[in-house]
Structure 1
């Protein structure tokens, strides 16, 4: 009995062609042979930027908001002003304390000169007492032979000896007065470090008060565009209250490639990416750097693959892509936009132009 020919049925050929088409579609979707390609594609990619949260460093009531949502600002432009009356008075108080401390230090200088003059007076008194003692000793030496010869009376001798003892006591007193004056000068000079420290403390207090007064003016830290201004006139804000956000002009793309796509990727390779928000418009860039670890390693709660059954999941590694300058549509990119990145791993790396170099710290 002959075998039936499966191609005799008209429905068999379309079904077979549909099956082959489905298999080819799966192979093409997963980039399996014969559809392998050196161009790696990922839609897990987004535009990134430096979004800075602007907050005050001091507490107070908001009295001025000269900006509005989404406006462009320059570095140093006033964003929010806080009532500064209390801080002005604190500055005046600190300046008064500084003046008082400096006056005390100046008064110490006057006291030092006074103590030095007292020492000079005491030394002159010592010299005078020494001269009086020398005269009394000379008088005693002259009268002693006369007393022994009974030429002078004993009363005269007693008077001379008493004068010598008085002169010696006066000399000792003058020396003691000199030491007291020197000690007083030492005590006066010993207070200088404390007074100088008080002056430095008062100067620091003035600087802190000036900083607090300056911080009542919340200014833009750099050029960029503001997000939504979340504060209102009369609102009481504290240190750390989110007032608004500032987004500088620098942009880049972070593309999360699967680990199976990383082979052949190198820094400097050209990149093409299409922006969903710009109707798929294509822009150019370059591979800038690779993340040191996959996204799962930075997760707050990391998975423990050593428990239970294991299912292998391809991890993704973030790749930072710089955006080439001089592209008209680059100015329309906003952090958070979704893009589709195409990277040809066979392309030779190119040196990134200086214009796309990231700012310091990034």
Structure 2
């Protein structure tokens, strides 16, 4: 048996320490225990920690993005430096001289020579109206003119006839005066003869009666001459009325001719037609709307708030986007500003003399001329909606 006591053997005396076994030098060291995983919420970084340094390109990109964001916010809210140099509105439309075509005479439409949305030139025939009645009126007016001219010619002939009669009356006056002179000579001789008794008193009385008759004949001839003169004046005075009647008849003829010409409806200007509202055989009256012509000359009218027009002036540049053209951008210039707010041209003007008055910003119309040489401008049509921006720099009133 071994000399070493077992663990179960009770010791009666002091127990001796157990001997430490010898470890050979060539044996490997015992493995170290695993280190615990650091917890970011518990294990805080040291106080001298710094994020990794960024490159110069990254810093420049961040600064540029920040500046762009700031400038976008300032531009959207129209804050300095973007405040005041540009005024915008979406209350703007393309305008043009839309011409409504209506007949000046009534009648049945005999022929329509154009189609919907066709291009027409000034003077081109678009429709015709039955002209038989108007041709008859022209012929009647021509006959009336001829009758009045004949009356005027008769007046001229009557004047010449009266003037010839006046010459005959002048000759009658001369004859009566000669008879008066002869009667006066006979009277002088009769006075001498009756004094010495060569002739009787009866012959003297006959001579005296002949003198008185000759004198009465002179006065009668002069009265006839005065009547003839008045007859000539009457003809002359009446001629003025006949000349006026001739001019009136000619005016009636011109009116009838105008009505006849108006049976042919022609295009007043170059442009494009609207939808045709009349067909062959339709009865139209004067003023009936048949169709419309839209010339190519268009412009833009933008309705700005009155507070936006402070710095606007004629000649300032303007840009506008057209909704119908996919937002195509066009250029123009301010041509004129309305002389009054839109409410002043309304049929029923607002009455603000009440206790519940609410201030409403008024609108001022601004007419913008479209710059030439823009291809997209050929597609503009009156009534299109646009968004306008006007550069008001340089227009501030001092």
CA-to-aligned-CA distance 1:164-222 (integer Å, 9 cap, x gap): 23322322222222122122222222212211211121121111111111111121111
Pair 44,127 (structure 1): closer, same or farther in 2 beyond 3 Å: same
Paired residue for 2:4?
none
Q: CA RMSD in A?
A: 2.4
CA-to-aligned-CA distance 1:321-362 (integer Å, 9 cap, x gap): 11000111111100011111122222679xxxxxxxxxxxxx
Residue 132 (structure 1) aligned with residue 204 (structure 2): no
- Residues 204-243 of structure 1 correspond to what in structure 2 (within 5 A)? 204-243=251-290
- Residues 140-151 of structure 1 correspond to what in structure 2 (within 5 A)? 140-151=187-198
Paired residue for 1:76?
123
Paired residue for 2:367?
320
Structure 1 stretch 186-195 or stretch 65-74: which is displaced more?
186-195
Secondary structure of 2:218's aligned partner: helix
Paired residue for 2:99?
52
Paired residue for 2:163?
116
**Mapped contact 1:291–1:317 kept (Cα < 8 A):** yes
For 1:344 and 1:34, how far apart are their aligned partners in 2? Answer: 14
Give the alignment's TM-score, normalised by structure 1. Answer: 0.83
Residue 299 (structure 1) aligned with residue 351 (structure 2): no
Residue 249 (structure 1) aligned with residue 296 (structure 2): yes
- Residues 21-60 of structure 1 correspond to what in structure 2 (within 5 A)? 29-32=76-79, 36=83, 38-60=85-107
Out of 192, 196, 199, the position equivalent to 2:246 is: 199
Q: CA deviation at 1:111?
A: 0.7
Pair 288,121 (structure 1): closer, same or farther in 2 beyond 3 Å: same
For 2:351 and 2:180, how far apart are their aligned partners in 1? Answer: 101
- Residues 268-279 of structure 1 correspond to what in structure 2 (within 5 A)? 268-279=315-326
Pair 35,125 (structure 1): closer, same or farther in 2 beyond 3 Å: closer
Give the alignment's TM-score, normalised by structure 2. Answer: 0.76
Residue 166 (structure 1) aligned with residue 249 (structure 2): no
Q: CA deviation at 1:35?
A: 6.4
**Mapped contact 1:143–1:152 kept (Cα < 8 A):** yes
For 1:86 and 1:268, how far apart are their aligned partners in 2? Answer: 55
Unaligned runs of 5+ in 1: 1-23, 350-362
Unaligned runs of 5+ in 2: 1-70
Secondary structure of 1:75's aligned partner: coil
Report which of the two structures shows the higher radius of gyration computed on alpha carbons: 2
Structure 1 stretch 98-107 or stretch 303-312: which is displaced more?
303-312
